[in-house]
Every structure is written in structure tokens, then in C-alpha cells.
């Protein structure tokens, strides 16, 4: 069992203020595989104070962006050498299939580190503009102390969407990992220590909900960057609004995959299996509403059911596994609750149901529902598990209407033999990321985020860096 008895605060390993601990439980075995301190408000006070000193008095925000990029680049080199270790840790903690961990959970965060390190070498902090009375300098300065509150499903990925740009911008950051996945954060902390960041610039402190809210509410925090449920996002937005604190929110989704009449189902299903079931369905961008033309509805239902049935369910440490367990028992029960709800609403399960695949582990049966209308709760609410619904549409206008008939607007896809026509459909769907015959998997160089209840602001790309910068206009005479 992996045990840690210290917290990483301000670049140092310190004893926690309290005696509470967090047990990390394997979703596959239901056994405790790790234990870390459960941070208290006093620990968060210490982390914010260290970040405050680093930002207000330390060298980090006063270095050039290129100088900061050099340090972030050193972190990227260290990260590259430990990708396999990170992938295995995340699979152990939260049950992500090891193949997904090796392809995405560790490599994509590395890609973000490298992208922002390169961007920092060339990004223009100032530009000159003509003013009515003389030249004006427009300057970009770091927003300050950032609280980065991250979920359990893709922990390193979400940390890096916040940490990498915030560091390049010159911010000091307090990272609050989810209690389900604190172990990978300890490995990252070791790399940050080795990379040589100045004192106070980064803290990584795992804690539960109450201490997380304490951090979000802390008067020493200038910005909150959050990824998680829409319900939690609303609460954080309320807290930040009260304090006029900057915030960026990446929240939930209920994304629609539109299958057009001309789609080659055989070719599409291999890609759609990734788009709909990545990370065992525990992904905000998962394409869980499959929109099928009425003329091919039964054909699409059978193809989707065959696709899901072809994903082996089992030990997440086995490279052959396609779908692993849910992260926790509460999540297993939540997903099963939605499966029961779908049946009660009149949807027809053509695959899966409430019979669990195994007696041990927090597994659910991957489930496909047919006969679903878009007003059913299983079509409107984020389930966060391997449950897909197939909805019939009459024509393309109807498909776009159904895709947009959601409180969410995070992601979406269209599947067609005519990619240019697919682009036309993409332009009509109100979603922050979209893919034609593919899932737009959060490219480091392009903005990621959602419309409507899927969030506020954008991460990644130059836009992601700019969300950690404040604009200042300096006019002068003479």
C-alpha cells in the first residue's frame, strides 16, 4: 500500500495540521491501496499564505515569461520520464483501463506542458496601440493566486489544463486533487520539487468537500479554476460572484453523436466506441446520445449494441480491458439508478441492464437503450458511466434541434461520408468542441470549454493562457 504522511505546501513537505486521512480504494478489488493526509482549513491557510508570498514578494511573477517557460520545460522533461508510473497510478486509484491511461491519462498532460512551455517563449506580454492622445501600451499581467480544484476522472489531464498555463502566466497555484485520486498528485509534487520552482509557487493538497469550499472562499485566492459537476460549478460561481473573484468552470455534458444517412456504420463504430465509452464512460465529453435517422434506426441500434458488446469489461490493469469499474460504490449505484430509471421511463435496454458483471469491484453492465425520446431523463442528465441512448430523428434539421435541446453544450460529433457537409452540421450545433468523424480530444493548441451549463471560459490554447492574465492599459504623453 502506498502511504504518505506529509503535504506538499509551497514546495516543501510538511506535517499536516490534523490527524485525518484519506483512504484510496481500488475500484477493482475494493481494497485500500493508498493513504494520504486529509488537509484541513489550517493546511489550506498555509498553502494560500505560501502562494500569496510567492506572488506578492517572490521572483516568479517578476521573471520573464520565457524564463518561466524554461522551468516549465524542465518539469516536462521530468514528466516524460515518469509517464508509465503515472499511468499505472491513475489506473490503480480510479480504475481507468490501463490502455487509456497509457494513451491519454499521462501523455496528454505532457503535451500540455510542452505546448505551454513553447508558447511562453514567444507570447507577447505587451503590445502598442495608437490612442487619442498618444501611444498606449496594453500589458498582460498574471491574475495572482489560483486555486485549481480538479476531479477524479482524468486527474493529471485536468491539473495540467490549469497548472501549465497558470505557471507560464506567472501565477502561484494551490492544486486541490479529488480525494479519490490523490496519489498521482504526490508523484507530480516530487517532479515539481525536482524542477526547481521558487518557494511557494506550487502546493498540492488533497482534501474533501468542506475544505475544498474553504479554499474556494479564501480571501487570499484571486482566481478559482474548477472542473467537475455542473451542480458544484454553480456553487463555486456563486461563491466567486460574492467575492468578485475570477473563475473558470469546465462542467458537465450530454453530448450528441449525429449519425447521418450516408454514414458507413462499420467504419464509424470503431471511432465511436472511443468517443462514447472512453474512460469507461466517465468523461464529460462522452458521446452518450446517439442520434440516428429514422430510416436506419434499427440498423444503428444493432450496430451500437454490437460495438458496446465488443468492449471487454474487466480488470483495468489488463491491456485487453475496454471498460473498467466505476470510480466508487456511490458512482456504481448512481449509474445503476439511471439504468433503472431508463426502464421506468419506457426505454428498452437492448444490451446490459442491472445484472452486475462481477461480484467484486464497482462494475456496471454497459447498457444501450433504444426507444428513447429526448425528453427522458436518461437523455437529458449526465450519467457518467457506460450508458448510451439511441434517439431517432426525422431529418437533419430535426437532428440539429435534438442535439441543441440540452442544458449542456460541451462536445459533439457528426458521422458522415461527406466531411464538408459534416462541417456544415458542426457549425449549427451549440457546443464548445466538435468533431467530424472523430472526437475532438482537447488539442493543447485549441480552446476547450462549453456553452450553456457546460461552463464558463476556455482552457488550452492561447485562450487558456489568457484566462490567467489580467489586461492593463498604460497611456502616456510625450
Residue with cell 493566486: 145
Active site residue 284: yes
Q: What is the mean pLDDT of residues 370-374?
A: 98
Q: What is the mean pLDDT of residues 314-336?
A: 98
Q: Are strands 172-176 and 7-9 parallel, antiparallel or unpaired?
A: unpaired
Q: Are strands 469-475 and 135-142 parallel, antiparallel or unpaired?
A: antiparallel
Backbone angles phi, psi at 387, to 5 degrees: -125, 120
Q: Any residues with CB less than 8 A from the CB of 363 and at least 6 apart, and which?
A: 313, 324, 325, 326, 332, 356, 357
| Separation of alpha carbons 422 and 399, rounded Å | 13
Q: How is residue 87 written as a grid cell?
A: 499511468
Q: What is the mean pLDDT of residues 75-83?
A: 98
pLDDT class for 270, splitting at 50, 70, 90? Answer: very high
Judged against a pLDDT cut of 90, whether residue 172 lies above it is answered with yes
Residue from 171, 240, 247, 250 carrying the catalytic annotation: 250
Evaluate whether 233 touches 224 at the Cβ level (below 8 Å): no
Query: Nearest-5° angle of CA 286, CA 287, CA 293?
Result: 175
Determine the distance from the C-alpha atom of residue 157 to the mean position of all C-alpha atoms in its chain, rounded to a whole number. 6
Judged against a pLDDT cut of 90, whether residue 477 lies above it is answered with no
Percent over 90 (pLDDT), the chain: 98
Judged against a pLDDT cut of 80, whether residue 100 lies above it is answered with yes
Could you give the dihedral angle defined by the CA atoms of residues 227, 96, 286 and 156, in that order, rounded to the nearest 10 degrees?
Answer: 30
Give the CATH fold of the 2-251+454-475 domain: Aldehyde Dehydrogenase; Chain A, domain 1 (3.40.605)
What local confidence, expressed as pLDDT, does residue 37 receive?
Answer: 98
DSSP secondary structure code for residue 198 in this structure? P
| Separation of alpha carbons 49 and 45, rounded Å | 6
| Separation of alpha carbons 316 and 237, rounded Å | 35
Q: How many CB atoms lie within 10 A of CB 267?
A: 12
pLDDT class for 441, splitting at 50, 70, 90? Answer: confident
Q: What is the mean pLDDT of residues 16-43?
A: 98
Q: What is the average pLDDT value for the chain, to the nearest integer?
A: 97
- Give the C-alpha distances (Å, rounded to integers) separating 131 from 136, 314, 473, 477, 478: 6, 64, 11, 10, 12
Give, to the nearest 10 degrees, the angle between helix 155-169 and helix 107-122.
10
Among candidate residues 38, 341, 89, 61, the one with its CA nearest the CA of residue 211: 38
Q: What is the mean pLDDT of residues 103-119?
A: 97
Please report which residue ranges of 39-154 form alpha helices under DSSP H. Answer: 41-56, 65-81, 83-94, 98-100, 107-122
pLDDT class for 332, splitting at 50, 70, 90? Answer: very high
Residue from 284, 336, 382, 459 carrying the catalytic annotation: 284
DSSP secondary structure code for residue 352 in this structure? E
Judged against a pLDDT cut of 90, whether residue 442 lies above it is answered with no
| Separation of alpha carbons 198 and 452, rounded Å | 38
Residue with cell 521572483: 59
Residue with cell 492599459: 473
Active site residue 171: no
Judged against a pLDDT cut of 90, whether residue 478 lies above it is answered with no
Any idea where the domains of the chain sit in the sequence? 2-251+454-475, 255-448
Evaluate whether 136 touches 142 at the Cβ level (below 8 Å): no
Say what the pTM is: 0.96
On whether the 255-448 domain is CATH 3.90.950.10, my answer is no
Instruction: Express each pLDDT in 117-159 by its tens digit.
Output: 999 999 999 999 999 888 999 999 999 999 999 999 999 999 9
| Separation of alpha carbons 190 and 186, rounded Å | 6
Dmax (CA) for the chain in angstroms is 78
Amino acid at each position: 500500500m502506498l502511504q504518505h504522511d506529509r503535504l506538499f505546501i509551497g514546495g516543501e513537505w510538511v506535517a499536516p495540521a490534523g490527524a485525518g486521512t484519506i483512504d484510496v480504494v481500488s475500484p477493482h478489488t475494493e481494497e485500500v491501496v493508498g493513504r494520504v493526509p486529509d488537509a484541513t482549513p489550517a493546511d489550506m491557510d498555509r498553502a494560500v499564505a505560501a502562494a500569496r508570498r510567492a506572488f506578492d514578494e517572490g521572483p516568479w511573477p517578476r521573471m520573464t515569461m520565457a524564463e518561466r517557460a524554461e522551468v516549465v520545460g524542465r518539469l516536462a522533461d521530468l514528466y516524460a520520464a515518469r509517464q508509465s508510473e503515472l499511468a499505472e497510478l491513475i489506473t490503480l486509484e480510479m480504475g481507468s483501463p490501463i490502455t487509456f491511461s497509457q494513451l491519454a491519462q499521462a501523455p496528454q498532460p505532457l503535451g500540455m506542458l510542452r505546448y505551454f512551455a513553447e508558447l511562453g517563449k514567444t507570447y507577447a506580454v505587451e503590445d502598442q496601440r495608437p490612442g487619442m492622445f498618444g501611444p498606449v501600451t496594453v500589458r498582460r499581467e498574471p491574475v495572482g493566486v489560483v486555486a485549481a480544484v480538479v476531479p477524479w476522472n482524468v486527474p493529471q489531464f485536468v491539473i495540467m489544463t490549469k497548472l501549465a498555463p497558470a505557471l507560464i502566466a506567472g501565477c502561484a497555484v494551490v492544486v486541490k486533487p479529488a480525494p479519490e485520486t490523490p496519489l498521482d498528485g504526490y508523484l507530480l509534487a516530487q517532479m515539481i520539487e525536482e524542477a526547481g520552482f521558487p518557494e511557494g509557487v506550487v502546493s498540492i493538497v488533497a482534501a474533501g468537500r468542506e475544505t475544498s469550499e474553504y479554499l474556494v472562499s479564501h480571501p487570499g485566492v484571486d482566481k478559482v479554476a474548477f472542473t467537475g459537476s455542473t451542480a458544484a460549478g454553480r456553487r463555486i460561481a456563486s461563491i466567486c460572484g460574492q467575492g468578485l473573484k475570477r473563475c473558470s468552470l469546465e462542467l458537465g455534458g450530454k453530448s450528441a453523436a449525429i449519425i447521418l444517412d450516408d454514414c458507413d456504420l462499420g467504419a464509424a463504430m470503431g471511432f465511436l466506441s472511443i468517443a462514447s465509452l472512453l474512460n469507461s464512460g466517465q468523461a464529460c465529453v462522452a458521446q452518450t446520445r446517439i442520434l440516428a435517422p429514422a430510416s436506419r434506426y434499427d440498423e444503428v441500434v444493432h450496430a451500437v449494441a454490437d460495438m458496446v458488446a465488443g468492449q471487454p469489461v474487466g480488470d483495468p490493469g489488463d491491456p485487453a480491458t475496454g471498460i473498467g469499474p466505476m470510480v466508487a460504490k456511490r458512482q456504481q449505484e448512481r449509474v445503476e439508478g439511471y439504468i433503472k430509471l431508463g426502464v421506468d421511463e419506457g426505454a428498452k435496454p437492448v444490451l446490459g441492464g442491472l445484472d452486475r458483471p462481477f461480484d467484486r469491484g464497482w462494475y456496471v453492465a454497459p447498457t444501450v437503450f433504444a426507444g428513447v425520446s429526448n425528453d427522458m431523463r436518461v437523455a437529458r442528465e449526465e450519467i457518467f458511466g457506460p450508458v448510451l441512448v439511441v434517439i431517432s430523428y426525422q431529418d437533419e434539421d430535426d437532428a440539429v434541434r435534438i442535439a441543441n435541446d440540452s442544458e449542456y453544450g460541451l462536445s459533439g460529433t457528426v458521422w458522415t461520408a461527406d466531411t464538408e457537409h459534416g462541417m456544415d452540421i458542426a457549425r449549427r450545433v451549440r457546443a464548445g468542441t466538435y468533431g467530424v468523424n472523430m472526437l475532438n480530444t482537447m488539442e493543447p493548441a485549441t480552446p476547450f470549454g462549453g456553452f450553456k451549463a457546460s461552463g464558463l471560459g476556455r482552457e488550452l490554447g492561447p485562450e487558456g493562457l489568457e484566462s490567467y492574465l489580467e489586461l492593463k492599459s498604460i497611456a502616456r504623453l510625450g
